[in-house]
Structure 1
Amino acid sequence: MKRLFGNIGWLLGGRGFNAVLSLVYLALATRTLGLAGFGHFALIVALGQTVTGLANFQTWQFVVRWGAEDTGPQRAVGFAMALDLLSIGLGTVLAAGLVWSAQFWLPLPTELLPLAFGFCVISLLSIRTTPVGIMRLHFVYGRETAADAVQPAIRAMGAILAALYMPSVAGFILAWAAAEVAVAAAMWFAASRVERIDPRQISLTKLPRENPGAWRFVWATNFSGSLNVGGKQVMLLLVGAIGGDTLAGGFRVAAQLGQALVQLAQTVSKAIYPELVHARETAHAIARRMANIALIAGFIAVLVAIMVGRPALALIAGPEFRVYWPMVILAIAGAFELVGASLESLLVSAGKAHVAFFCRAVPTLLAFLLLETSIGWMGLKGAGFAVLGSSALSVVGFWVAIISLSQIRITVEEPPARPR
């Protein structure tokens, strides 16, 4: 637990640095571009993150799980790098299809579509889950935090330059693209100082031959990670498709401020997963303790959002963005995600990634199906309620699954004594 909290401390320090600078570039982007322009910007960023989220194989979990085996991390890293290359190829095809079809369902001007495709490709080339996995395998969270800090720093500097010299959607997208490239380079450099990168080990077949369950784990974690990351961006795209660019811009601001807890949940998940893999005997106790702490932290964070959310919105985004209640609703959704982070990690570390995927897939699909009705009912607040319902149902699913698996394990390990 001491090491776990130390690792969380490193990651939270990085998140805190990111959060402070994110307020800077959020304020610059919203006030420079206005509600409609920021909506276009948000949709392009969401397209890039959707493509990356759906194509990315979440190789960091694979490196942590299989790199800890007796064979060493080289084979796992080589397989992860091969998966990254596959992600880039598949993602580029997906990006071409999404951007080409965007003219029929997204409120994006035609002249911005080439820019959107370019950002998608840059995002794919900047996939960095494998170096992240290398550093987490060796528990060097300080180096990961230092490398990750490159992204918000470049974004903030790029946003300042864009506001001064290129105050347009293209200017801010270029700043975001530069940040993606810079942080990917920093991550690979930091990882190479921890573990030697051997290009000869890059292969999609070597490790699966030795570990028959490898592909099942890869696909399960990919589907679950795609839902967790890409699903939230798909939600923003659907909000834009249903409600237009101004609604998309408002939803992005509400989500970025209200769902800061989701970032915290991802931080907890990233720190706890390697510990659960290495400490199988005490995994349930660690996850339960972290969930209890998360429950208290989530409650406090929601209270803070309620009390200071309105003046914070006025200060950062300006009076044009009236999204206080959607922000509060999304903050509550973030609290649920915070509690569920350790529960989901426990399922994945126990080899039940497919169960975690199912627990998240069904609520996410329901949210997508009910989104248009929700927006027609209460506008942005309705969209927030769709996200809240999805998060709450997912966490309940994680909890029920863990209880069921625990009972099965007890039944198997401790059969009832035979009567004498």
Structure 2
Amino acid sequence: MRRLFRNIGWLLGGRGVNAALSLVYLALATRTLGLDGFGYFALIIALGQTVTGLANFQTWQFVVKWGAGSDGPGEATGFAIALDIMSVALGAVLAAVLVWTAQFWLPLPDDLLWVAFGFCIVSLLSIRATPTGLLRLRFQYGRATAAEAIQPVVRASGAVLAALFMPTVLGFVLAWAAAEVAVAVALWIVAAWNEKIDLSQISLRRIPRDHPGAWRFVWSTNMTGSLNVGAKQVMILLVGAIGGEAFAGGFRVASQLGQALVQLAQTVSKAIYPELVHAQEDAHMIARRMANIALIGGVLAVLVALFGGRWALETIAGEDFGVVYWAMVILAIAGAIELVGASLESLLVSAGRAGTAFVVRAVPTLLALALLNVAMDWNGLKGAAFTVLGSSALAVVGFWVAILSMQQIRITVAATEPANKPPKPDS
């Protein structure tokens, strides 16, 4: 637990720097571009992150899971890099399809479609899950945090330059793209410094050959990651498709401020997963303690959003964005629920139940996306936020039920084992 809290501290420190500098870019982008311009920017970023999220495999989990053996992470790293290459190829095709069809369903001007495609390709080339996994495997959270701090610094600096010299959507997209490239390069350098990367071990066959069921785990975690993207980035795209660019911009601001807790949940999940893999016998205890702590933090964060959210919105983004206050509060509640569920989801994945975690996450997410149009017709951005809240609540309840079922199975097996064992021969 002491090491877990130290690792979470490193990750939260990085998140704190990221959050503070993100406010700089958010304030500059919203005030420079206005509601509609920021909406275009939000749609382009959401497209890039959607493509990357759908095509990207959670390779850091593979490195942690299969790289902890006595042979080291060589084969696991080679497998992860091979999957990254496949992600870039598949993602490029997906990006071409989405951008080509965007004119029929997204409120993006024609001159921004090539900007969107370029950002998608840059995002794919900046995939960095594998070096992150190498650092987490060795519990090098301090070095990972230092490398990841480059992203918000470059992004904020780029936003300042864009506001001064290129106050357009393209200018801010270039700033974001530069930050993606910079942090990917930094993480690969730090990971290679800490662990030798043998490119001759790049293969899609070795790990599946030695670990039956590997591909099932790969696809389960990929689909779970894709659903996490769907809960946020695809939601922004659909909000824009239904309500227009102003709705997309408003929802992104509300989501970024209100769902900061979701990023915190992801931070907790990333820190706790290696511990659960290495300490299977104490996994339930660790997850339970983290869930209890998360509940307290979530309640406090919702209170902050409720009483200080409107002031924060209007101070950072401007008075035009004050209308998304209640959507932000609803999303903050959803974030608090996700914070509690982060350790439960990690517990399922670490116990080899990635498929169960995927199904539990999939059903509420797809339901939320299906009901989005009806919800927005009912109550605009607040209706969209309620679909996210409902999805998060159903998913966390599902994780809890799945863990209880898993515990019950273990208790039943333990109770029947002595009776099934053959009697020991007399001495």
Shift of 1:244: 0.4
Aligned to 1:336: 337
**Equivalent position of 1:380 in the other structure:** 381
Q: Deviations over 1:112-158 (max 9, x none)?
A: 00000000000000000000000000000000000000000000000
Aligned equivalents of 2:319, 2:339: Cα separation in 1: 30
Distance 2:101 2:295 in 1: 41
Return the alpha-carbon distance in structure 2 between the equivalents of residues 287 and 191 of structure 1: 28
Q: In structure 2, what is the equivalent of residue 284 of structure 1? A: 284
Checking the alignment, whether the CA contact within 8 Å between 2:14 and 2:145 is kept in structure 1 is yes
2:212 is aligned to 212
Tell whether the 8 Å contact from 2:50 to 2:234 is kept in structure 1 after alignment: yes
* Separation in 2, partners of 1:119, 1:319: 29
Provide the residue aligned with 1:244 in structure 2: 244
SS of 1:323's equivalent in the other structure is helix
Instruction: Measure the CA separation in 2 of the matches of 1:237 and 1:262.
Output: 19
Alignment gaps of 5+ in structure 2: 420-427
User: 1:49–1:230: 8 Å Cα contact kept in structure 2?
Assistant: no
**Distance in structure 2 (CA, Å) of the matches to 1:198 and 1:335:** 41
2:272 aligns with: 272
Equivalent residue, structure 2, for 1:370: 371
Which residue matches 2:149?
A: 149
The code of the aligned residue for 2:16 comes to G
CA distance in 2 between partners of 1:416 and 1:112 (Å): 64
Residue number in structure 1 paired with 2:425: none
The residue aligned with 2:395 is: 394
Amino acid at match of 1:389: G
Structure-2 separation of matches of 1:47 and 1:389: 24
Decide whether the 8 Å contact of 1:251 with 1:380 is kept in 2: yes
Q: What one-letter code is carried by the residue in structure 2 that aligns with 1:364?
A: T
Q: Paired residue for 2:226?
A: 226
Residue 117 of structure 2 corresponds to: 117
What is the CA-CA distance between 1:416 and the residue it aligns to? 8.5
Which residue pairs with 1:137 in the alignment? 137
Q: Which amino acid aligns with 2:373?
A: E
The amino acid of 1:279's aligned partner reads A
Identify which range, 61-70 or 121-130, moves more after superposition. Answer: 61-70
C-alpha separation in 2, matches of 1:386 and 1:230: 12
Aligned pairs for 1:15-414 (under 5 A) are 15-321=15-321, 322-414=323-415
Q: Distance in 2 between matches of 1:196 and 1:157?
A: 32
Q: Take 1:391 and 1:334, find their aligned partners in 2: how far apart are those partners?
A: 8
What is the CA deviation profile of residues 279-304 of structure 1, one whole-angstrom value per residue up to 9, with x for unaligned ones?
00000000011001001100000001
**Which digits, 9 at most, give the CA deviation of each residue in 1:23-54, with x for residues without a partner?**
00000000000000000000000000000000
Equivalent pair of 1:51/1:230 in contact (CA under 8 Å): no
SS at match of 1:320: helix
- Please give the alpha-carbon distance, in whole angstroms, between the structure 1 residues aligned to 2:335 and 2:231: 14
The number of residue pairs the alignment matches comes to 418
CA distance in structure 2 between the aligned counterparts of 1:417 and 1:352, rounded to whole angstroms: 26
Give the AA of the match of 1:414. A
1:191 deviation in Å? 0.4
User: Following the alignment from structure 1 to structure 2, what is the Cα–Cα distance between the partners of residues 225 and 409?
Assistant: 28
Residues 63, 130 of structure 2: 8 Å contact kept: yes
Tell me which stretches of 4 or more aligned residues in structure 1 moved more than 6 Å. none
CA distance in 2, matches of 1:32, 1:303: 30
Partner deviation per Cα, 1:251-285 (whole Å, 9 max, x = no partner): 00000000000010000000000000000000000
Secondary structure of 2:152 counterpart: helix
| Mapped partners of 1:87, 1:416: distance in 2 | 44
Cα distance per residue 1:365-419 (max 9 Å; x no partner): 000010000000000000000000000000000000000011001111222887x
Q: For 1:281, what is the secondary structure of its paired residue?
A: helix
CA displacement, residues 53-103 of structure 1 (integer Å, 9 cap, x when unaligned): 000000000100000123321000000000000000000000000000000
- Once residues 207 and 417 of structure 2 are traced to their aligned partners in structure 1, the CA distance between those partners, rounded to angstroms, is 40
SS at match of 2:281: coil
Q: Match for 2:194: what amino acid?
A: V
Q: Structure 2: which amino acid aligns with 1:375?
A: M
Q: CA RMSD in A?
A: 0.9
Instruction: Please state how far the C-alpha of 1:231 moved relative to its aligned partner.
Output: 3.4
Percent identity over the alignment? 73
Q: Do 2:231 and 2:388's aligned partners in 1 also have CA atoms closer than 8 Å? A: no
What TM-score, normalized to structure 2? Answer: 0.97
Provide the secondary structure at the position in 1 that maps to 2:196: coil
Distance 2:268 2:196 in 1: 27
SS for the counterpart of 1:114 is helix
| TM-score, length of structure 1 as denominator length | 0.99
Does the aligned pair in 2 maintain the 1:50–1:231 contact within 8 Å? no
Matches of 2:70 and 2:392 in 1, distance apart? 37
